[in-house]
Structures are given as structure tokens and as C-alpha cells.
Amino acid sequence: MFLSPELHFAIEQEIKNLDSNHLVRAYGELSEHYRQRNFEKTSLRLSKEHCVAYAASRMPATYQVAVQIFTELFQCLPSLSIESLLDIGAGPGTCAFALSSMHDFKKITLLEKEPLFFELGKRLFRSLNNSAFQNAVWLLSDATATTEFSKSDLVIASYSLGEIAPIIRQNVLDKCLKAAQKILIIIEPGTPQGYANLIDMRTQLIAQGFFILAPCPHQNPCPIKKPDWCHFSKRLPRERFHRLIKNVDLGYEDEKYCYLIASRIPLVQPALSRIIKKPMKRPGHIYIDLCTESGLRREIVPRSQKEKMRQAKKAQWGDIWNTSL
């Protein structure tokens, strides 16, 4: 199960209250909308079926991506204390659910412009017997129209800033930076466009004095050039309702994403290098593609280096790599 038991049960209850054929059709409409989206088009008029279809089809993947990124955050800063969370473009509250699986916090504020996502999120929150969730502050508002965001230890914008036109996005990101007292996390789709959006935002973060904790092992301009782009992938089994809504039989899917974890204070011991592609295993050696402070580098680990080979066999795309082994 790739969701918490409480969230899994709550989504199943939402699905039971609706016609499955309507949900499958709603998922198809959502998918088409996101494929063809541009900033001049009006938004899709959402129904309850659209929102529940989103929860069933997208929450498992975005939940697991968020868990992966939060794990990275606490590896970077093991003693980090987060008491307050602000989620910009929260949808049904996926990131708050993910963070609650590994960390306790006192205050949750969620900003969401779609009334039906707003209501769905509040219903799902009631599934947790947790005071922070029961007392969560839901703000029905568009991030682009909100004058300022409430100050919080952690501000997260998951799959939301990239949906805003670039000239407006700069202003929204500026409000995120002013609100983030400790950490700002941005998650975008792992597509060339998602990466391009993230790189623009990365430049703005650094210019305003934030430090990139992950995935970049440096504060230099990104060394990756077109047609390549920096992204990562998370494989997860598909829940039963996941397969139902997507009308597929395959028991797993790969969620590609890119992200930034930015901090007001620098890391004491920054990572030396990050694995930016799936390691390539060949007879007698393994190729590992790295991003380092001095640029991109491919390391060849031969079988003769036994300890390094042992580590290389376990290494995964997105891991920090210890070059001193």
C-alpha cells in the first residue's frame, strides 16, 4: 500500500459514492486537459467526479514523490524542526498527508483555488485523528491573487507554480520566499518544460539568498544542456482503485518529477555529487553519471574496486554518491 491506511480508506469511500464509469471518463478529461494546457486557455470546469478521479489516479504518485523529497530533506537536516506547513495550490492536501507519515507538526495552512478540491481535501483530512489536521486552515483563494502568504517553517508548492504564466509566477514565488521561514520545496513534472520552469525559479531562489540543499550539490548554474534535462523517477505499485480509474492492467507506474529543496541557511556538509541518471550495469563495470560542483562527470566503477562496486550495485538514480570510496 503506497498511501497511509487512513487516506487509502478515505479515497475508497469517495469512490464508492460515485459511478465508476463517470470517474473513468472524468480521468480521461483531466488527462487531456493537462496535456493541452496553455496559459491562455480557461481552466477545465471541475466536477466532483474530476476531483475524486484526481485523488484516485494522481494522489498515490504525488504522495510517494513527496515522501521521497521529505526523506531527502531530513537526511540533509536531521535535526530540522518543522512546526508549521503552508501548501500553495494544495489540491486535496497530498503533501500534508505525506509529511505527516514521518513528522509531527502543529499548524497546517492550505491554499487552494478550486472549491471542489477544497471540499474534498477537508473531507479527507477528517479521516486522520490528528489535531493538526482537524484544525487545519483551508483558504479558498488563488495564489496569484493573494497579497501575501502566512509565514511558515516549511512552504511547499507541488505541481502548482509551473501552471502559472511565467511573468506572474515570479511574483507568486517571491511571496513563497517571504513566507518560508526555514525551507521552501518546489515540485514540478519531470518533463523538459517542468525542468525549464524549475531552472527559472532556481535562479530566483539563489538571487534572493536561498541555498539549494537538493538535488543540486552546488549553487552554480545547472550544467545540464538541451536536449537533456534534470529529473528523477519513482516507481510505485498501482492501487486497485488506481487501476480502475485509469482503466489499465499494468500493476505499476513510473512517476517522473523534478524538484528543489531550498533553505535560508546553507548545509554544513553539502553533498559532493548526485546520480542524475539510472546507473548502467555492464559486464565488469558500472557507469554512474554524476552532477558535481565542477560539472557533469561519468564515473566508471570496475569490478576490481570491490567496496566501490558493492556500493555501485546498490546505487539508484537520484542518490548522493560518495566519490571518495
Range of the domain at 202: 5-263
Domain for residue 325, yes or no? Answer: no
- Per-residue pLDDT tens over the stretch 162-174: 989 998 999 999 9
Q: Are residues 172 and 303 in the same domain?
A: no
Measured in degrees and rounded to the nearest 5, phi and psi for residue 12 equal -60, -40
Closest C-alpha to 130, from 8, 6, 12, 10: 6
- pLDDT of 39 reads 45
Domain for residue 287, yes or no? Answer: yes
Helices marked H in 209-303: 240-246
Nine-digit cell at 13? 469511500
Q: Are residues 288 and 190 in the same domain?
A: no
Domain for residue 249, yes or no? Answer: yes
- pLDDT of 323 reads 66
Output helix, strand, coil percentages for the chain, rounded to the nearest 5: 40, 25, 35
Q: Are residues 33 and 67 in the same domain?
A: yes
Gyration radius of the chain's alpha carbons: 20
- pLDDT of 40 reads 46
Cβ atoms 195, 232 nearer than 8 A: no
Burial class (CB in 10 A: 0-12, 13-18, 19+), 122: middle
pLDDT along the chain (325 residues), means of 10: 80 88 86 65 77 89 94 92 95 93 90 94 88 92 93 96 92 97 97 96 96 95 95 86 74 91 87 93 94 94 92 94 70
- Per-residue pLDDT tens over the stretch 264-290: 988 877 788 999 999 999 999 999 999
Q: Are residues 243 and 287 in the same domain?
A: no
Domain for residue 84, yes or no? Answer: yes
* Strand-pair category, 295-302 with 285-292: antiparallel
Number of neighbouring beta carbons within 10 Å of residue 78 = 7
Domain for residue 320, yes or no? Answer: no
Nine-digit cell at 300? 566508471
Q: Are residues 70 and 199 in the same domain?
A: yes
Domain for residue 323, yes or no? Answer: no
- pLDDT of 37 reads 60
Q: Are residues 145 and 281 in the same domain?
A: no
- pLDDT of 105 reads 86
pTM: 0.93
Domain boundary among 242, 263, 284: 263
Q: Are residues 133 and 49 in the same domain?
A: yes
Domain for residue 155, yes or no? Answer: yes
Q: Are residues 215 and 84 in the same domain?
A: yes
Q: Are residues 281 and 191 in the same domain?
A: no
Nine-digit cell at 32? 487531456
Q: Are residues 308 and 169 in the same domain?
A: no
Domain count, the chain: 2
- pLDDT of 312 reads 93
Q: Are residues 137 and 278 in the same domain?
A: no
